[in-house]
Chain A
Amino acid sequence: MSSQQDELKETDTEARFEFKKEEKSAFQTEKGLTEETVRVISEDKDEPEWMLERRLRALEQFQEMPMPTDWPGQPDLSEVDVDEIIPYIRPDVDVRAGVDDWTELPDEIKDTFDKLGIPEAEKNALSGVGAQYESEVVYQNMQERWEEKGVIFCNMDEAVQEHEEIVREHFMTKCVPPSDNKFAALHGAIWSGGSFVYVPENTTVDMPVQAYFRMNSEGMGQFEHTLIIAEESSEVHYIEGCSAPKYSAFNLHSGGVEVFVGEDAHVQYSTVQNWSKNTYNLNTKRAIAEKGGRMEWISGSMGSKATMLYPSTILKGRGASDNHITIAFAGEGQDIDTGAKVYHNAPDTKSTIESKSISKDGGRTNYRGLVHIADGAENSSTAVECDALMFDNESTSDTMPYMEINESKVDVAHEATVGKIGDEDIFYLQSRGLDDDDAKQMIVSGFIEPITEELPIEYAVELNRLVELEMEGSLG
């Protein structure tokens, strides 16, 4: 690594994520969204006819659906004008579907991911890595030993070509149909890039696979699609990281994630999101868990101007279970509206939701969650716990859970607390020689520990660093 990269890695400044590269692309669409745009994207990708048809149908649905404006206390989306964004930018890379060696990438792209520390992490802690720059995946690699076992980790566009049957069956059909919400429909029309993960029966991928998403161009939208299929008794941990430099125009990120958790399979999906503070982050993420399957969502929402993200799990088979851990950190000008949705549709299903949020300098966090227990889902249990920490009275902390219980043989509990950092805790730490800032930082680190301990050490360190960055200089 060059000394400049070393420096960036060590300095813990916003510069690590905020640096910009000159916009250089091979192909980009015009601003805005028309049938023509959709056809152009599909053609540029040389897609089969059925995919084009799905895109066009999604476009129709997008145009029919109204903007969501009637949610109590929802973030202001009035600035989000789809006609102002560039939906598709193909970076200048020779090899379609990405290279499998970092050195083959153009220097400025390689440099970007070096600064973000991705190749380094790949060497140390990951089974596979995908990296998306603008609309396309530029790098994709997985250790050979997994390939031999039949594990597939490739970019979504490649999967449409190479694994057509399985993609056709699962892509935005039964998990996240475009009709789910306006931004899912938008996503369905102009999705590009993302990951396809397939884990065969009885296979445990013991090191995580990771995808990193980077938006570099001003005013663009990123719409990557992630499809994970974990067959019976398999296990996989997928990590997603996101960042973008800040421009004056807004960016839009509207990803789609679909996870199929087979019988007795176990999927963990971890996200550390650090989009620039002009990005609207409006995602739809959903998992369907079969009998005995286990789904875990770990989410850290640090960046973005406004986030609306409610990863959901449908517990479809008997004994399936779900675990949500989410942390939201909203600073100045940020509105992080996030939470969880769980549908208990079978007996003996379990879910736990643990949410931690921090708001400061006028930021707003909201936990918005729904737990639905269907009639007949006997012996189901759910426990929801939300804790919020507030730094000042400029900030806002909301908690809006919804529970719909149609079954009597259940155990349902929801708890929430909101408070400020305890003066006594700070006093204690100060009496041990820490200054005020360090004391507060330490309390915050402790507050989010339930999240960090679920992540591989590299990511836990990363998350802690981001929190420190957010806290820096603004305490008093």
Chain B
Amino acid sequence: MSTQAIESLSEDTVRRIADERDEPEWLLETRLNALSALETAELPDVIQTPGRRWTDLEALDFESLVDPLNQSDATERTAGDDEVVILPFTEAFEEYGDIIEANFGSVLDPEHNYLTALSVALFTTGTFVYVPEGVDVEDVTVRAEMNSRSLFSQTLVVAEESSSVTILESIESGDDGVDGDRYFSNLVEIAAGENANVQFGSLQNLDDESYTYSLKRAVTDAYATVDWIESNFGSKLTRSDVETELNGDGSESQIVGTFFGTDDQHFDINARVWHQAEHTTADLVTRGVLDDVARSVYEGVQDVGNDAWNTSSYQRENTLMLSDDAEADASPKLIIHNHDTEASHSATVGQVDAEDLFYLQSRTIDSLTARNMLVEGFFVPVLEEIAVDEFRDDVEELVFERLQ
């Protein structure tokens, strides 16, 4: 973009953030590089068709949204097992500095775009999760509240060979937040070692004065599995990208997405997978509901590289419209460079099935209840993919709330 230089940003700002956290020199370097990358970096790509731009990120007023030195959050991190390391970055450097340095930015290039560079330069919160070789942990949770104008969060997950972990993160607005528009930026990178298994669930339910940018990316080694569950309920405008690079033979990834838009919410949801090794499998499943004048934009990309022999790649996206004034845009893309591929995608947009409604009403269920039952049912295929009960309950609860 480079069109929007933020006045309050300077090398000094970045140094102060790093100093307060007593960070190692290499991280300060990384931050400063990210800061200078802002001069040339572009905003994330947005789909354009003749005469239309699907999401207008350029309209965001970063000048007033970004307040780097007053970031505040309340974050609770728990793990059911002490074999796994889960720490805020600030506390992790002393003991795990080498592991962090080796992995930070290796999956997600801080200078990928303007918003990632901004986030890396300014992050003040975030979590380091380290799952040593062979460790199997189920319930790692990170629950965060945002209490400031802007909040930049950075998460790094390192899962070593043959480890297994399920991580849930959630973000919502705190009670003592500031008034007016706010900006939440969330970067997550996962390095999944050989035969590792990572499930990462994320639930975003910020209030309707918030803007959210989230980019989550994983790289898999051989036979590793990374499954994402990306749930977006809150925010006025959400741009969410979930991506997996399948770099190891036989590795797999599933990206499950849900969203529910009401009022004038805007969701720009993206799921992408790159097949770059043999025998890899990907499954992208997204389901969303739109009510009122909400709008969704979806892009799914399945990119099969030249060397990706014997690839299986699937993608489904379904949007349910509850209101005449909602809008659903979708673009599921296939980019195939190897013929030894089985790939498919499908996308649908529609409303609640009239026959199903009629059936339920004939069973004396009133029309609103019937519709709500069908909407809840619509989410079942994605809810089933969530391995952790607590997380599934949260999502169900949020769907239920929106139907009232």
Contacts and interface: CB of A to CB of B under 8 A. Distances in A.
Interface of A: 73, 370, 372, 375, 388, 390-393, 395-420
A402 B300 CA distance: 11
A396 B334 CA distance: 10
A457 B87 CA distance: 72
Contacts of B346: 413-416
B340 interface: yes
Residue from B325, B331, B341 whose CB has the most chain A CB atoms within 10 Å = B331
Q: Which among B49, B319, B333 has the highest number of chain A CB atoms within 10 Å?
A: B333
B321 A399 contact: no
A404 B49 contact: yes
B49 A370 contact: yes
Contacts of A395: 337, 339
Contact of A403 (B309, B331, B342, B345): B331
5 contacts: A397-B336, A400-B334, A412-B350, A414-B348, A416-B345
A411 to B, nearest CB: 5
Interface string B340-355: 1111111111110000
Nearest to A73: B335
B348 A398 contact: no
Nearest to A420: B339
B285 interface: no
A404 B341 contact: no
Interface in B38-68: 47, 49-50, 52
Contacts of A402: 47, 49, 329-331
Given A370-B49, A416-B345, A401 B332 contact: yes
B261 to A, nearest CB: 13
Interface in B313-339: 319, 321-339
A399 B345 contact: yes
A401 B340 CA distance: 22
A419 B350 CA distance: 28
Contacts of A412: 347-350
Of residues B323, B332, B334, which shows the largest number of chain A Cβ atoms within 10 Å of its Cβ?
B334
Contacts of A417: 343-344
Contact of A407 (B322, B324, B331, B347): B324
A396 B335 CA distance: 7
A416 B319 CA distance: 17
Nearest to B316: A415
B335 A405 contact: no
A472 B46 CA distance: 42
Nearest to A407: B324
Interface size class of B (residues with CB under 8 A): 35 or more
Contacts of A396: 335-337
B317 to A, nearest CB: 9
Contacts of A397: 334, 336
Which 6 residue pairs across A and B have the least CB separation, nearest first? A390-B339, A408-B321, A399-B334, A412-B349, A420-B339, A393-B338
A401 B331 contact: yes
Interface of B: 47, 49-50, 52, 306, 309, 319, 321-351
Nearest to B307: A393
A204 B319 CA distance: 42
A390 B337 CA distance: 9
Contacts of B333: 398-401
A413 B50 CA distance: 21
B50 to A, nearest CB: 8
Contacts of A414: 330, 332, 345-348
Contacts of A399: 332-334, 345
A405 B341 contact: no
A403 B347 contact: yes
A319 B332 CA distance: 28
Given A407-B324, A420-B340, 9 more contacts: A390-B339, A402-B331, A403-B330, A404-B52, A404-B329, A405-B319, A414-B347, A416-B334, A416-B346
A398 B329 CA distance: 19
A335 B326 CA distance: 37
A379 to B, nearest CB: 11
A416 B344 CA distance: 5
A7 B336 CA distance: 40
Contact of B351 (A388, A404, A408): A408
A341 to B, nearest CB: 8
Contacts of A418: 334, 336, 341-344
A413 B348 contact: yes
A441 B338 CA distance: 20
Given A410-B349, A415-B344, A400 B339 contact: no
B337 A393 contact: yes
A415 B321 CA distance: 19
Contacts of A413: 346-348
B345 A406 contact: no
A391 B341 CA distance: 11
Contact of A419 (B329, B330, B343): B343
Given A390-B341, A417-B343, A418-B343, A398 B349 contact: no
Contacts of B323: 408
Contacts of B332: 399, 401, 414, 416
A415 B341 contact: no
A278 B245 CA distance: 37
A403 B349 contact: yes
A390 B340 CA distance: 8
A404 B340 contact: no
A415 B315 CA distance: 10
